[in-house]
Amino acid sequence: MKIKYENLKSGDIVFCGGNSLLAGIIRFVTAGSFRKKKDVATHCGVVVDLYGQKLIAEMMPEGLELNSLEDYNHGGKRFIVGVGRKYLTSSTENAMMKQVALDLRKGIEYDFSGVVGFILATPNLEEKFYCSEYVKRLYKKCGTKLSEASVDRVSPQDIFNGFKNGIEGELIKFSE
């Protein structure tokens, strides 16, 4: 099954890979290869319906951002690996949208030390997040379990593998 942008639902997790040095390092740490692979996720974000639009909430170096799917690939520097779909109740979807809106107002910051900490296995900061930490925390705050990995030691690939292996929900290929 393939999914198009217009069929994304609130709560879908969009996984992507990238061509940057950071993406290469993440790929090496989580999948053992610097080479670009179609089935290795180096970044993720969550689809939310806010302001009458489907947007992707994602942690970026500037902090939590909302981007359209067109902007999500950052001018071709990233490619979508797949979409993870957990079948959520409408109340969970609403809670997720409210939490993202609250987090945007709070100005949640990116966790640079967490990315380094993931690689070096050092402690994490409480209120700063990198992409997969934020996704897992968002699901947890909305009452839905996601991934067996600890909150401060979860990579995009960990969550992706949960969907790929059918543990978390359904992994859907993306069609542009």
Number of neighbouring beta carbons within 10 Å of residue 155: 25
For the purposes of burial, counting CB atoms within 10 Å of the CB of 38, is it exposed (0-12), middle (13-18) or buried (19 or more)? Answer: exposed
pLDDT at 36 over 80: no
Of 126, 130, 133, 47, the closest CA to residue 86 belongs to 47
pLDDT at 151 over 60: no
Q: How many domains does the chain have?
A: 1
Residue 109 or residue 26, greater confidence: 109
Main-chain phi, psi angles of 164, to 5 degrees: -60, -35
- 99-124, pLDDT tens digit by residue? 999 999 898 888 877 666 555 544 55
CATH number of the domain to which 111 belongs: 3.90.1720.10
Supply the pTM of this predicted model. 0.86
pLDDT at 31 over 80: no
Q: How far apart are CA 136 and CA 130, in angstroms?
A: 10
Q: What pLDDT score does 40 carry?
A: 83
Q: Which domain holds residue 75?
A: 2-174
What value does the CA radius of gyration of the chain take, rounded to a whole number of Å? 15
- 59-84, pLDDT tens digit by residue? 988 999 998 877 776 666 778 888 99
